[in-house]
Each structure stands twice: as structure tokens, then as C-alpha cells.
Amino acid sequence: MTELSHIDSKNNPTMVDVSDKSITKRTAIATCTVIFPDEIKKYFQGDELVTKKGPVYHTAIIAGVMAAKKTHELIPFCHPLAIEKCKINITTNSDGNAEITCEVSLHHKTGVEMEALTGASVAALTIYDMCKALSHDMVISETKLIKKTGGKSDITL
């Protein structure tokens, strides 16, 4: 079994010590999907979903970026990071559902996987919040890390 990085030698939870690590460019890309019922799909105006609360995708992008920057306040052992890039893209796929991609990067001693996952997740939650008056039949689906670079290893899933 692989040793857990957030457990110390006495089995207590702990933040990972990154003080001896080298600074490298770190990137992470995460995705998330919001599946819409038909009654929500009729609210699209071009590439934007518009409700009485305003432009849904634009608001979700802002919320996702804000969340990525605050990940260390939400996840107990995440390091506070000065994110250099956070780009959220939301598109509507051929089934009429929202596909969210969050790409985060910086130069640091620790990675940004949690920031990318948090950004994508909060963007999806914002879409849900802004559309729930229309229907609660939405599904937030398949939040996942698809790529990570920098540090010990690069991963593409």
C-alpha cells in the first residue's frame, strides 16, 4: 500500500511538508459535467444559458475562479497558493449539457490538482444554483482530474 502523505508517523493528520521541494511549473486540468433536463435546455440563447438570475455560464466562470483561489480555505491540508493562471471554459456538448474545464497553473513546490477540481466543482454548483428554480432534475456528473504536470510525475488520464 502506498503511504498516505497527509498522515504522520504517529497516524495523525498533517499538512505535507514541501519546504525541501524544488519550485517547478505545476499545472492541472479538471473537468465536470452538468446534465440538464429538457426544461432547462430551452433557456439557451446562443452559447449562454440565461435565467432570471442572469447569464449562468458567465457567473459560473467567475465563481469557479474565485473558488480555485480559495481552495486552501475549504480543504484542510491544502497549501495557500498564489495561482498564476486559472482558466475556466464552459461549453454545451452535443447532448445540450454543460462541459466545464478548469485549468490552473503556477510555479511552486506543490501541485494545483485540488484547485482545478475545486474550480470545476464550484462552477458546476453555481450552474445548479442558478437553474434550480427551473428544475431540480440536473445531475452534476464526472468531476475528474484529466491532466497534471510538474513535480514528481506528469499524469494524463
What Å distances lie between residue 2 and 5, 7, 90, 112, CA to CA?
Answer: 9, 12, 35, 21
- Could you give the CA distance from residue 127 to residue 134 in angstroms, rounded to a whole number? 12
Catalytic residue ranges:
129
Contacts for 112 with CB less than 8 Å, ≥ 6 apart: 26, 27, 28, 81, 83, 104, 105, 106
**H/E segment holding residue 156:** strand 155-156
